[in-house]
Structures are given as C-alpha cells and as structure tokens.
Structure 1
Amino acid sequence: MSGGTMKQHSARRYRWTRLLVLVTTLSVAAISCGDNKQSSGSATTAAGTGGSVASTTTAPKRGGSVTMNQGLESRGFDPVLLGGFASGDAPAAGAIFDFLMRWDEKANKVVPQLAESLQTTDSLTWTMHLRTGVTFTDGTPFNAAAVIFNIKRLQEPANAGSFGAGGASLIKSMDSPDPLTVVFTLNTALPTFDVNFTNRLAFIGSPTAITASGKDFATKPVGAGPFIFKEWVRDDHLTLVRNPNYWNAPRPYLDSVTIKPVTDIQQNRNSLDAGEAQASYVVDGETIDNFKAKNWQYATVALNGGQGLMFNVRRAPFNDLNARLGIAYAIKDDDYNKIVYNGHARSGRTVFVPESAFFSNANQPPGYNADLAKKAFDDYKTKNGAPLSFTYNAFQTTSSQAIGQFLQSVLKPYGVDVKIKVGDTNANVTDVFGANYDTVNWGINLASEPEPQLSNFFLTASKGNLMGFTDPVADAGLKQATATADLAARKDGYAKLQTAFNQQVPFLLLNLPKEGIVASPKLGGVRLSSGGILMFDEMTIN
C-alpha cells in the first residue's frame, strides 16, 4: 500500500474528529506545540519522535521534583491489576511503563510513543513496529516478544476482570515476523483498535521481572518508562526517580515524581495552596474553578460520559428496572449539584455531551418526577413483597460519601432504605470487578473519540461491562458504530445505544465531565494522554 493511499485512509479515519472540540483550558504557563515532528502515514500513525509539548516561557530545565495528588490509591502496578483511572493509577503506570501509543490532545488522534508506527489497510490486521534500542530498566530488551507476553497475560482467564482484558479480548492472534514487529489479527475489523494502545494495552512490563517476581511485581514494577520505581507506601506515597537511560533523551527533565492519594477535597486544596503538591487530578468543579481563578493551569480531554451511580443489574435489587427508574425519577439535578458539588458540577444525564457529534435527542433519559418515582417504588414493593433496600459503595473521597448521604435523604420519604459502605480503592474496585455490589459512585470517561472505552463498558460480552448490562439493541448499535469510520453510520449506531441506555438505566449519569488536571504555573510541559492521563516525561518545574 502506498504512502499516499495510506494517508488518504487516515484522512477518512479521522475526518469526523475535526467536528469535535478538544477541551484544553490553560492559564499562565500554557501548553503549546514544541518539537513535535510526527506525521500521519498510515491508517492511524506512522513513525514519530514521541512528540513534545514544552513551556512557551522557558527552555526545558533539568532537575527538581514534582508532587501530584490523586483521589484514588492503586491496587498494585502489575499491568493486570491496573484500573487505568486518570484519577488513580494511570499516571504512575505511564511514568513507569510509558505508553505503546498515546493520545495527542492537539492533533486529536493516536500517535506513536514506544511503538514507532501502527498500520492497517483493512482494520482487521494491524502491524506495529517498535523502536530500536529500547530496554526495560532491568536491561531486558523491549521487543515484540515482550509485547506479546504482556498481552497474553491479559488474555488469561485468571485476569479476565482486569482493565486491559477488554482490549486483549479483541485480538484473535499475534505474530512476530521479526524482533521489533508485532502483527495483530482481530476477531472482527475495528477501525478504532489503535486507541487501545493508549490505555488498556499501553503498559508493558519487563517479562524477566514479571517471571522472577510473580505477584510481587505489583509492588516492585519494572518498565521502560521515563521514571523508575523507587518506593511505594500504600495510602501514603509513591516515589519514582528519573530513568537515565530513557529512550527519548534528554527527557525526562524532572529528578523525581511523588504521587500521593488524597481523598479529602479540602485537604487536597490546602496541599496545593501550601505548595506541598504542584498538580492534582480533580473531579470536583469547585476546586477547578478556584484554582483557575488563581491562574493555575487546567487541562482535560474527557468530553463525554460523566459520573453517577452504576447499578449491578445481575442481582437484586437492581435487576428490577423499577428500582433503577425510581432512583432516576427521585433525584433533582440541581439539588444533587448543590449538595454534592456545591453547585460547581455540570448537570446532565446523557452519554454524550450536547456538543458532541454523537449526541442524540432520539430518546431522553428519565429526569425528576416525584409521581413516577413513587409509582416505580410502589411497583417494586408490590412485585418483591418489601420496600427497596440497598447498599451504596462509597469511596473515601468527600464527594463520594456525600452522594451516599444525599441518597439517604432523598429516598427516605419514599420508604427506601440506603446503607452506606465506605471502602478504599482496592476494596471497592475488588467488589465492582467481582460483581459484589449493589450500586457505586463510578465514572464513564470518554474523550472525543469514545472508543474503545464505550464498547468496553457497554457490550454484553465485554470484560469491562461491570454492570452486567445486556441489551441486543445496545449491542447492535455499538457494533454498527465501531465497524466503520463513517460519521453518519457511527452516530446512528450510538443513537441506538443511547436509546437502550436511557430506557434501561443500568448507569444513572448525574453530571457531565468537569474534571481534569490542575497544575501550578511553575510547571511546564503539562500534557495529557487518553482519558486525561497526566504524562510526566516532558514536565519541568521552574
């Protein structure tokens, strides 16, 4: 296939993205294009340098340390344990392992990182070429065998509940015609398969270290990223130090990165104000607004989806539609926003924001209606012989616990009993992936390109379908939307998903995305990858 033809294919593949808006709002130290010399020469990407986004005010400065606050602690840093949360373990994973590919928030597409190129002519067979001379920090070669080893681990039945398993399940076979080439053959053609390598299949660990360490690899990971694991004190801090042999020299510029789990909103604000931390992934709009007013940087790529209540529809009580509809009808969006987020959230219940090219008015989600709420709860009681009673799993964050208290207050007049179970990230994620929960505060983070996250979350057969949601209309819509690059066909497919989603309410979205990174004006080279994951390789501090 000629380079010109491949470029035409790429243009068709990404034509629709120009209709979408990538939100990146910055203040004093703006993110800008630096020495990015990548060019598109395949269906997705061609050879590139890995890109650069440097500060416009100063040249990259070597040295210094940065502390980042995160709302969620990790379960461990083995790729089969990673949750992939931009607000949790993904930034650390990117620093330790790097990314096979990354999402370029400027170009609004997938670009090379550890991989040098990723090409396809039919969306069924994809050829990845890796960079020459890259090694893991233990000296093991970063090659095709390492990539295949890691993805095969994600395909093992024992790891079926992992975040990466959904991406790995798309792959029928993997071959290596030479040490730096991997050929992926998929089960079905998928034009958006490349996005998987920016997150779900992005993180590759040293096969030598994984084999030698076994389960202990989760607490002493070895990757080929810009930083090396030094120390992890669970629920206190993770310390990473500069990798002097990083493939993309002279990066990284920082000497070290420390990541701390801070679950309390006010404590996080105080830490940032005091200079104890210079960056934080923030999910509450009030903190974002406060720090933007102080001329801090704010960056986000999460445009669609949002946060709300995820229901476990596999078991009682939320296998009964009346229970889910009752809660949807009982909640006033304005009250929820004021009580949980102090009025700083962006209320909304749709999978796609109104600005998205995929937004559909075909069927509206259920909104506040006290009479319909009472009828749904009465019907539930008649059918099941008792009033609705359930347990809400809350994380240790302030807002997550406030949601539980809000539910208790709003649902009590309807005779609904709500118990709150507060757990740390490990406990809640274990419950969710093990289908051992009733409802939980959860998020669906979708960038302008919603795949593969959207299909991973809603397809009946997907390992990432944590609700147990099954709907043939939704499945047909998703398969239609992912089988083509044509915008009209994709929009029509997603409209079918949204109709089923609004009727069945397996997940009650209550606020649209207003989350992202707040970063000190002292930081340069702030950039995000897929889903808003902060990357540290180009970061500087002045």
Structure 2
Amino acid sequence: MAGGSAALTYNSEPRTLDPAALSNTWAHQAVLGNALYGTLIVNNVDTLAIEYKMATDFSTTDGGRTFMLKLRPGLQFTDGTALDAAAVKFNWDRLRDPALASTSLRQAAQVASNDVVDATTLRVTMTSPSPHFPQNLLAGAMNWIASPTALQKGQAAFDAEPVGAGPFTLTKWMRQDVIELSKNTGYWDAPRPYLDSITLRAASDNAQRLNAVTTGAVDVAAETSWANLAKAEEAGFPTQTVPLGGGQFIGMNFRRAPFDDPRARRAVILAIDPESVNVAVYNGKGQVPATLFQKNSPYFTDIALPSPDKVEAQKLFDELAAEGKPVSFAFTTYPTPEAKATAESVQAQLSAFENVEAKIDVVDFAAATARTAAHDFDMTITSALIQDPDSGLWNAFHSTSRGNTIGVDDRELTAALDAGRVAEDPAARKEAYETVQNRLVALNPGIWYVRSSPSVITGKNVHGAQMYGLGSPLPEELWFQN
C-alpha cells in the first residue's frame, strides 16, 4: 500500500550530508545516501549481476581499461539542474581528491580520468585494467551523484539543503537527533517511492535498536549484531542478510612496532580464540570464519584460517621479550558496544599470557576514522567483505590500495590480487584467489573473528526491504501492508 511514514534506524550519525562523507555500507549511512541521491547501479546480492537504475549501462569492451557509463536521458536534480554526464564527472573527480578524505577514495582512485562524450555518456579510463570495477563502484559514494551547483555553495549551505535526484528530499535535520525526509514527487522511477516520508535516527546501541523494532517505535533497523538478528527472528520479526565472505578482522598495523615484526602478529593471532570473542560480543550467535570464502562461493578452497595455539603463542611472546621487544600495544576502537566488547575480549584473553600488554583506546567515530586513515594505530577493527572478490580483497590488501589501512606490502599477494582483478576466465580467477588465501594465512594480517552481518530487521507489516552491495537498503522500495 502506498503512503505513510516509516521510522528507520542506522548506526552512525553523519557529520555532513555531502555524499563524499557518507559510507555506503549497512553499518553507516547507506540508507540516507540512497534516499537523498538515488543510485546509478545496484547488484543482485545472490548472483552479483549488475542491475541498472539511473544508469542504463556501465560496461567495458577492452578488458576493463575503459568503461562507458550511459545515463537515462532527462534526469534532474531537485534544484532543476541536469543529472548528466558532466554532473557525474564533477562528483567522481571530486572523490578522487585526497584532500576531501572520502572513504570512497579507495574506489575513486582507481579511475585515471573521466571524459564527457555527450549529455548521457561518460568515458571512464582506469589507472589499470579492472573488468570487475562496477562491483567496486556500488560499494561507495561513486554510486551517489549530488548537484554540482549545490555542492559548490559550500558545506554549510549544502547541509541545509542537500540536492540530489533520489527518492526523498530533506525536510529537517536536527543533529544528534533526527533526519526527516519527504517523498520526491519528481523522482524518475514513479510510482516509487511508495512512502510519503521517512525519519532516520542513529542508534549504535544493540539493545536500543532491537527494542525499537520489537516495540513498533521503528519500522526498519539496519542491523550489525548477529545476536539481535537471532532475537528478532525468535520474536517473529522478518530479517534479511546479504551473504558475504571474509568478514571483520582485528587488524594489526604492519607499519610500526610491535606488529611490524611478523612474530608479534602471529603470537597475538595464536593467543586469541575467536569463539571466545563470539561468546563475549554476540552471545555465541555470530558466524566465525573458518575459511576466507564461504563454501557456496566459486572461489572457495579449504584453506583454514589460523586457529589458537596458546603454547606456541607464549613461546613467541617470550622470544620477542628476550630480544628486548615485549609486545605492548593499544587497541583503538569505535565507541559502539560491540567494538568495545571485542577489544575487551582481546585484552582479557591476552592477560593470561606473559610478556604481552594490551591497552584499549576508545575514540569517537570521526577520530577513529581519521586515525585509521592516517595509519595512527597499533590494532583496530577493520574488514574485508567479499562479494566479488576483487572489490573486498584488492581494496583491503593490495600494496597500492588506499583501503589497505594496515599496510600489508607483499609482492606475491599483490601479484595474485592483480591477476584476479584482470582475469575474466573463472578458472584463472579461482587460481589467483587460492594464492591470495594462502598468502593471507602466511602473513597474519589480523584475527578473523566474525562474518559481517549486512542485515535489516523490519516490522511485521513492512514489505519491500531490498539491499544491494554491502547491505545498502533501498528506501524507495519500502511499503506498508495493514
């Protein structure tokens, strides 16, 4: 049924409504970005097939050296200006500027140049061949195009009146409280959106999110907790989860002591039992990765991730201490209950060993993001989320990637990631990613402690919940059934 207003929660309050500052994942501001700016493309999260929205084509004929982006004709921003190839070029060129410090730089930096062919066509030249790049694009802010006219007025003006071509427009933003959005009556894909309005509130506390849905205070919650998903399902509330390989891992900074020494990384990995972290953080309901890829993946190989070995861990701690290098570090963590519980579990487990000391440094989202980007940490929670393996693995572990925050620099791993990126033959890609799996096990970049849960929980009368990419919900598809 069309009409009505829905209340939604997501995890992280935005600091600005500039799409370059929004993160297109379920755990951050994906639903807000999709609401204000719409999407160029999406994918089917089961088959990974690309599906088109405001774009009608984004394909390559030369092995990923160049792409041609085609737009629907007549697209307009809510300020009446054209969402054309020049507008896309403006947004994408802007994202490539390191001074902007967008989390989507990791995707945008893979583009060498954009050239307007005509009003609906943009020629995209890559820095190196990348035939699977569309899967990268939809995982970041490259999928959201804002009005260049509005962006050029500056952040304060844009935050007061953000201009996109999405299914909703801003009515009110009360910082640290609520964002109210109204239906864009000029949205290109009528009769969508089906709702008249939506309200968005950030809720980082697990119990608060779950309680809001189960009591009817919220209609849709973007969910990060396996424990919450289990409780919601037990209570009869619908859930959806995007299937992903990889997951979240406790990353160690290769660039500085103590983890520039591979023995320190291996000692910590062997000392920590991920199942104990699962119990402490998710009440045992999380999915702990045993292998990098899930068994249903065409790239699955039964290469086991490291398992605990407390005796060997203590030997390594003692060996480092005897050389005058006892392992001492700080775990920099976000302020969410899950993140803090993860750090506390690591600290508690390591307290049973000698010659190792772990401190916890809890910082806010903005500070944590800035410190991670500046590589100013010893240990932190990060991720490599795998749909098509190129996007998640290349971004997280390639030696030249902007997303390689932990500083892995391994020639064999980089070569395998490049081979997997350019290969179009499935057998060749599987061979490349088998090498990737072996190298990651050998390098010990971190503790793989949980599969990510890109999910939504919905009220019992809510329908149309759809996600793409890394659990990015599409608010224009939501509707109520009384």
Q: Give the alignment's TM-score, normalised by structure 1.
A: 0.84
Deviations along 1:224-243, one digit per CA (max 9) or x if unpaired, are 11111233333323222211
Farther-moved stretch of structure 1 (436-445 vs 496-505):
436-445
| 1:419 correspondence with 2:349 | no
* Paired position in structure 1 for 2:288: 347
- 1:149-188 equivalences under 5 Å are 149-159=90-100, 161-188=101-128
Of 316, 322, 333, the match for 1:382: 322
Query: 1:234 is aligned with what amino acid?
Result: R
Aligned to 1:320: 261
Structure 1 position 218, deviation (Å): 5.2
Given that 1:171 and 1:184 are in contact with CA atoms closer than 8 Å, whether structure 2 keeps it comes out as yes
The residue number in structure 2 matching 1:10 is: none
For 1:369, which of 309, 313, 318 is the aligned residue? 309
Q: Does 1:441 align with 2:393?
A: no
Residue-by-residue CA offset, 1:191-236 (whole Å, 9 max, x unaligned)? 2012233232211111001111246535643211111123333332
Q: Would you say 1:504 and 2:443 are equivalent positions?
A: yes
Of residues 326, 345, 348 in structure 2, which corresponds to 1:406?
345
C-alpha distance 365-224 of structure 1, shift in aligned 2 (>3 A):
same
Query: SS where residue 451 of structure 1 aligns?
Result: helix
Aligned residue number for residue 468 of structure 2: 529
Alignment of 1:238-387 (within 5 A): 238-362=179-303, 364-383=304-323, 385-387=324-326
Aligned positions of 1:2-151 closer than 5 A: 61-105=1-45, 108-122=48-62, 123-151=64-92
Q: In the aligned structure 1, how far is the partner of 2:91 from the partner of 2:469?
A: 20
Match of 1:8 in 2: none
CA distance change for structure 1 residues 107 and 319 in 2, over 3 Å: closer, same or farther?
closer
Q: Would you say the 8 A contact 1:310–1:440 is kept in 2?
A: yes
State the SS of the aligned residue for 2:366: helix
- Partner letter of residue 68 of structure 2? T
Partners of 2:61 and 2:250 in 1: CA distance: 40
Matched with 1:483 is 422
The code of the aligned residue for 2:468 comes to S
1:463–1:75: structure 2 CA closer, same or farther, 3 Å change rule? farther
**5+ long unaligned stretches in structure 2:** none
- Identify if the C-alpha distance between structure 1 residues 382 and 236 changes in structure 2 by more than 3 Å, giving closer, same or farther: farther
Helix, strand or coil: the match of 2:361?
Answer: strand
CA contact (8 A) 1:99 1:197 kept: no
SS at match of 2:382: strand
Deviation of residue 359 (structure 1)? Answer: 2.0
Aligned residues: 478
The question of whether the paired residues in 2 share the 8 Å contact of 1:176 and 1:183 is answered with yes
What are the ranges of 5 or more consecutive residues in structure 1 without an aligned counterpart? 1-60
Shift in CA distance, 84/313, structure 1 to aligned 2, threshold 3 Å? farther
Going from structure 1 to structure 2, the CA distance change for 1:93 and 1:475 (only over 3 Å counts) comes to same
Which region of structure 1 is more displaced relative to structure 2, 525-534 or 511-520?
Answer: 511-520
Tell whether 2:385 aligns with 1:453. Answer: no
Contact residue 219 and residue 459 of structure 2 kept, 8 A: yes
Q: Residue type of the partner of 2:61?
A: T
Aligned-residue offset at 1:477: 0.8
Q: Is the contact made by 2:274 and 2:448 (CA closer than 8 Å) also made in structure 1? A: no
Summarize the Cα distance change of 1:502–1:232 in structure 2 as closer, same or farther, 3 Å threshold.
farther
Q: 1:292 to 1:318 in 2, by over 3 A?
A: same
Tell whether the 8 Å contact from 2:250 to 2:448 is kept in structure 1 after alignment.
Answer: yes
2: CA distance, partners of 1:193 / 1:442:
22
Distance 1:202 1:178, change over 3 A: same
C-alpha separation between the residues in 2 aligned to 1:406 and 1:348? 17
Letter in 2 for 1:110: I
Name the SS of the counterpart of 2:68 in structure 1.
Answer: strand
What's the % identity of the aligned pairs?
30
Q: Is the 8 A contact 2:327 2:357 kept in 1?
A: yes
CA-atom RMSD in angstroms: 1.9
Task: Measure, in 2, the Cα distance between the counterparts of 1:333 and 1:456.
Answer: 24
Judging changes above 3 Å, is the alpha-carbon distance between structure 1 residues 499 and 396 closer, same or farther for their aligned structure 2 residues? same
* C-alpha contact (below 8 Å) 1:73/1:426 kept by paired residues: no
Residue identity matched to 2:417:
L
Q: Distance in 2 between matches of 1:376 and 1:516?
A: 39
Sort the Cα spacing of 1:439 and 1:431 in 2 relative to 1 into closer, same or farther, 3 A. same
8 Å contact 2:26–2:223 — kept in the other structure? no
